[in-house]
Amino acid sequence: MSTAVSAAATDTAAGPLRRHDHYIGGEHVPPADGQYLPSVNPTTGKAWYETARGTAADVDRAVTAATRAFTDPSWRRVSQTRRGALLRRVGELIGENAEELAHTESTDNGKLLREMRAQLAALPEYFHYYGGLADKIHGETIPANSVEILNYTLREPVGVVGAITPWNSPLLLTTAKLAPALACGNTMVIKPSEYTSASMLALAPLFEEAGFPPGVVNVVTGYGPEAGAPLVDDPRVEKLSFTGSTATGSWISERAGRRLVRAGLELGGKSPQIIFADADVESAANGVIAGIFAAAGQTCIAGSRVLAHRSIYDELVARVVERAGTIRIGDPLDPATELGPLATPAQLAKVEEYVAAGRAEGGTVAYGGGRPDTGLGGFFHQPTVFTELGNDTRVCREEIFGPVVAVISFDDDAEAIRIANNTSYGLAAGIWTKDLSRAHRTAAALDAGTVWVNMYRAMSPMSPRSGFKTSGLGVEHGTEVVHEYTRLKSVWVNTSDEPAGDPFVMRS
């Protein structure tokens, strides 16, 4: 059985809960209607702070601040090299405040403190990378049919960017939007998840401390329908960037389409890990554990479908079950913990619903399937391994966003690829094989924006991420993301001193 860590999670509040206000125009601003909402520590199930419950009035104020900052010479006329220096300074400040930010995020969403420390250690790299890229964003000169015509392009910032971010990795996933958007010269209004607002509110003031003008980065907290929807619909917001569920992403895409503004969407997944017969089964089993049980399965790239060749199926299941049985469940602030709680009671109920559905559809629970006894009172669920489920079942087709994996057998490469691609999602995939040719063939055949070979769950600001099918639109990370946060302008200049030609003939 899994070992429950007995260390007690620490709530930071004693007596009245601490209140967090919006961050608008470089100031902490109380909500327009004076309402707050509680945020619950998922380890204890108890509220540990209150955050402003934003409304359309708060969003209007934030977008006004971002619009003013975008046109203000203190930001609009700053050089690209200077923008890069500001971003690098933010990275340095994050490094200086990493421990506090990591503790805040771990307490807020239940992810392991050691993982949050690793993410915070990596976060400055995003700002350093895009800081270095800031003065490499440029247009090009285009040959014309006449030497007297100069045609060139400009890459300009789009304006105010509205970002709506999720609760599973708030700072990392927001930074993937913030760093490139600012490098391109935009301003931002961020609406973090109502479940995890504390870390973003702690991060935002670091931008002014780094030298950014007030209003370049703004944070409005609250519920999606009350604060997120007005941000999506505000006509001054020129670009939307969202990470979250496919259902919400579809709604945002529809609303953005009505206004004819761009929307970058990083959505859900039902990612396969394919274990071929020649794979190192021990390494593959560790990859399965990392892909689904790290972060309690609350990640869009979770490897929630494992496809194992029939010849090694039993051995793989045995290894995964054995390792699942040793996973230490408990307080995420305890360095010995390997699996923390789910972030919300609703997410715990969702996981339990899917486990029940898997059983009802004929699946066998090889390990887990219920709540562990941690003594902490939070939203914990055991790592759960299903066998005997077909790819057409709910557990194998729908995103669960929890520590639940189904292991499916296959007989040959073609069948593995067919099962892997037989999903509405296309975010990520894993391949485990010692055959390099097979690895390349399979990677090319998979409908997935990211494919890992003999590894899983790796990320870098330098490597682009995209989703196929219902897993998203647009690109994050890498240099490609510059196109998401800039608009392209073509400029034609007639350098000739001669009178203009025939007005009824188009020049080229």
User: In the numeric block, which tokens belong to residue 47?
Assistant: 């509220």
For 388: left if phi > 0, alpha if psi spans -120 to 50, otherwise beta; the answer is left
Please state, as a whole number, how many other Cβ atoms lie within 10 Å of the Cβ of residue 55: 18
Start-end of H helices in 297-412? 313-324, 345-360, 394-397
| Ramachandran angles phi, psi of 296, nearest 5° | 55, 30
Q: What is the DSSP letter of 116?
A: H
Residues 6 or more apart in contact with residue 234 via CB below 8 angstroms: 59, 60, 63, 162
473 touches 252 (CB < 8 A)? no
Q: To 5 degrees, how large is the angle CA 351–CA 352–CA 354?
A: 65
Active site residue 266: yes
Q: How far is CA 421 from CA 42, 76, 474, 501, in A?
A: 35, 45, 20, 58
Q: How far apart, in whole angstroms, are the C-alpha atoms of residue 113 and residue 95?
A: 16
- Give the CA diameter of the chain: 87
Which pair of structure tokens corresponds to residue 224?
């999606």
Q: For strand 475-476 and strand 465-466, is the pairing parallel, antiparallel, or unpaired? A: antiparallel
Q: Which amino acid is at 486?
A: T
Listed residue (469, 21, 7) closest to 270, CA to CA: 469
218's CB contacts (< 8 A; 6+ apart) are 22, 23, 24, 25, 62, 65, 66, 187, 188, 189, 190, 204
Q: Helix, strand or coil for residue 19?
A: strand
Residue of 50, 226, 238, 266 marked catalytic: 266
Whole-angstrom CA distances from 185 to 80, 201, 210, 256, 326 are 8, 22, 16, 21, 49
- Catalytic residues, by residue number, are 266
